[in-house]
């Protein structure tokens, strides 16, 4: 059965399990896949870095209070964080590396810094 190269669509001659017509096409194809996943990771890392920068700018003292509106106005994206900490007292902290926050009532937000 004839197969076509996944990269360029040319007919493949040779072994049955070949997916590409040449090494060049295999490399080009794999590079594209890697590039896509790298772009995806880079976008997420940029979001995390931005969130971290915003928290660091506001939370200079290591512990402070702010509002959801203020974070949003600076471009904070609540979807992205590095880890969650559930305390024994039932509080949930969201962390961007060593900068964390806890949601309070009335859209207030407690900012904390983890001692490393």
CB of 3 to Zn ion, least distance (A): 11
Per the CB < 8 A criterion, the answer to whether 53 and 65 are in contact is no
CB of 38 to Zn ion, least distance (A): 23
> Cα torsion at 50, 75, 102, 59 (round to 10°)?
60
Binding mask 20-59 for Zn ion (x = CB under 5 A): -x---x----------------------------------
Nearer to Zn ion by C-beta: 22 or 82? 22
Stretch that binds Zn ion, among 13-21, 53-61, 86-94, 101-109 (CB under 5 A): 13-21
> What is the residue whose two structure tokens read 């969201």?
94
> What is the residue whose two structure tokens read 């971290």?
52
CA distance 102 to 36: 34
**Residues binding Zn ion (CB under 5 A):** 5, 7-8, 10, 21, 25
């Amino acid at each position: 059965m004839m197969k076509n190269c996944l990269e360029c669509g040319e007919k493949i001659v040779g072994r049955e399990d070949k997916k590409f017509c040449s090494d060049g096409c295999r490399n080009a194809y794999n590079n594209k896949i890697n590039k896509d996943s790298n772009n995806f990771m880079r976008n997420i890392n940029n979001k995390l870095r931005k969130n971290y920068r915003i928290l660091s700018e506001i939370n200079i003292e290591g512990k402070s209070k702010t509002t959801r509106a203020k974070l949003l106005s600076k471009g904070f994206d609540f979807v992205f964080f590095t880890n969650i900490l559930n305390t024994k007292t039932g509080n949930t902290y969201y962390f961007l590396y060593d900068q964390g926050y806890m949601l309070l009532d009335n859209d207030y937000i407690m900012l904390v810094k983890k001692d490393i």
